[in-house]
């Protein structure tokens, strides 16, 4: 059973320790489907998703991400790529430089929340050498990896991180 979306938002945590338990492929399929339904500028959908089960490839990704070993230890890793020229064809430079990032960020957030809804842990990893990731995944030119998301059953429960107070971040204009 999946969680309510607000519950998923409030309970989601970055997971860096995973149980040695496989995630059903059908569940990963549903998570990718959730990513595919993310909003995108002009519905261009300038993204591709690489789903990695291969142990060697997962550890290559971990190495590319400053040796963050938990990436290799996750049962599944999703690499989210953007395709800038898809957005540029419709929105020129703003599409190429901004909308593709916004669009793929929305897709990543959907991955994180869908995974949480299925009781899975994730971590949004953005610190990595994109050239090494592209070579390891054989990503063709013109596609750029923007996020690595390890997915699996969490081996630990993390505390809720601090958040800035609402009155510090919201400006109401009437």
Q: Is residue 124 part of a domain?
A: yes
Which pTM value belongs to this model?
A: 0.95
Q: What is the pLDDT of residue 159?
A: 87
Q: How far apart are CA 173 and CA 171, in angstroms?
A: 6
Tell me how far the alpha carbon of residue 173 is from its chain's centroid.
33
CA angle 6-151-163, nearest 5°? 40
Q: Comparing C-alpha atoms, which of 45, 56, 48, 64 is closest to residue 125? A: 64
Q: Is residue 118 part of a domain?
A: yes
Structure tokens at 85: 């020229």
Q: Comparing C-alpha atoms, which of 12, 10, 7, 21 is closest to residue 155? A: 21
Q: Is residue 33 part of a domain?
A: yes
Domain span at 53: 5-155
Q: What is the pLDDT of residue 63?
A: 98
Distances (CA, A) of 20 to 15, 57, 72, 81, 152: 14, 17, 12, 27, 8
Strand positions, DSSP E, 44-162: 47-52, 76-82, 121-122, 144-152
Q: Is residue 173 part of a domain?
A: no
Q: What is the pLDDT of residue 2?
A: 63
Q: Is residue 13 part of a domain?
A: yes
Q: What is the pLDDT of residue 160?
A: 87
Q: Comparing C-alpha atoms, which of 55, 30, 14 is closest to residue 117? A: 30
Helices 84-94 and 100-117, packing angle to 10 deg: 130
Q: Is residue 164 part of a domain?
A: no
From first to last of the 174 residues of the chain, give the pLDDT tens digit: 567 888 988 999 999 999 999 999 999 999 999 999 999 999 999 999 999 999 999 999 999 999 999 999 999 999 999 999 999 999 999 999 999 999 999 999 999 999 999 999 999 999 999 999 999 999 999 999 999 999 999 999 888 889 999 999 999 999
Query: How many domains does the chain divide into?
Result: 1
Q: Is residue 171 part of a domain?
A: no
* 2 phi and psi angles, rounded to 5 deg: -90, 160
Count of positions (residues) in the chain: 174
Structure tokens at 112: 């994180």
Q: What is the CATH number of the domain that holds 25?
A: 3.40.109.10
């Amino acid at each position: 059973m999946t969680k309510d979306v607000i519950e998923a938002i409030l309970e989601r945590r970055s997971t860096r320790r995973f149980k040695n338990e496989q995630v059903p492929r059908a569940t990963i399929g549903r998570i990718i489907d959730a990513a595919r339904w993310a909003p995108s500028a002009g519905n261009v959908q300038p993204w591709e998703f690489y789903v990695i089960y291969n142990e060697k490839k997962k550890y290559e990704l971990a190495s590319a991400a400053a040796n963050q070993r938990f990436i290799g230890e996750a049962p599944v890793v999703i690499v989210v790529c953007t395709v800038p020229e898809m957005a540029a064809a419709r929105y020129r430079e703003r599409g190429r430089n901004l909308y593709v990032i916004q669009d793929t960020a929305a897709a990543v957030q959907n991955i994180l929340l869908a995974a949480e809804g299925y009781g899975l842990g994730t971590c949004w990893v953005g610190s990595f050498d994109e050239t090494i990731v592209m070579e390891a995944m054989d990503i063709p030119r013109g596609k750029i990896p923007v996020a690595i998301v390890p997915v699996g059953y969490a081996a630990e429960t993390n505390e809720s991180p601090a958040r800035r107070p609402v009155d510090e971040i919201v400006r109401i204009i009437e």
